[in-house]
Copies of this chain bind each other. A is one copy, B any other.
Amino acid sequence: MATAKKVVKKTRNLEKSRKEILDAAFWEVFTRGFQGVSVDDIVKKTSMTKGAFYHQFPTKLDLGYALVDEVIKPMTYARWIDPLKEFENPLEGILAQIKNLIGKAAPQELQYGCPLNNLVQEMAPVDKEFKNRLEAALLYWIEGMEQELKRAKKLGYLRDDVSARQVAHFVVMAHEGFYGMLKALPDPKAFNALYDSLKRYFETIKA
């Protein structure tokens, strides 16, 4: 009886492969840190091999840069800015989003923190180019927030005499701070303490 050799014709697609590698890399880096993950680790989580990896990315650092630009930057925006557009009052939206995405998150999710903040803390001091990309991603987030706050102003939800840019800075800082603190203190009490304080701050800037 002849054994039927299964010849799986592997298709080829540069973009899809890049995406698959980036997706795998995102999780590995998210959960274990950039320096804590090896190229082989990432490749193993993929249907491809090292050849594909280095065909896409000249070095491991370049993979990191692409992670920031192509995955984390748009993901952060989609997660924290886009949903605000559904809210008539952006200030309410910001608080609601924090409650939904952080307050109601399981400790198991929270323990890994924020993908962007993680890389900022780990890689910004280590590699200049990394820092540039991370800075751009952060500013993108801040600017999106600023736009929403300007909308809040126009609609009469935010005081005229506060700087939208300044508030945006503070709010994004609070996001990072929340994640950072909850990483070590995955405690609902801790979240509530932070949330209530942020809410108190919001009281002072609303129109």
Contact = CB atoms under 8 A, between A and B. Distances in A.
Given A118-B121, A200-B204, A204-B204, A180 B184 contact: no
B205 A200 contact: yes
A177 B203 CA distance: 20
A173 B177 contact: yes
A117 interface: yes
What is the count of identical protomers in the complex?
2
Nearest to A118: B121
A118 B167 CA distance: 25
Contact count band on A: 35 or more
Contact of A169 (B31, B138, B169, B190): B190
A139 interface: yes
Nearest to A202: B201
Contacts of A126: 32-33, 36
Given A121-B180, A169-B197, A204-B204, 9 more contacts: A33-B35, A111-B125, A117-B180, A118-B121, A166-B196, A167-B197, A169-B181, A176-B176, A176-B181
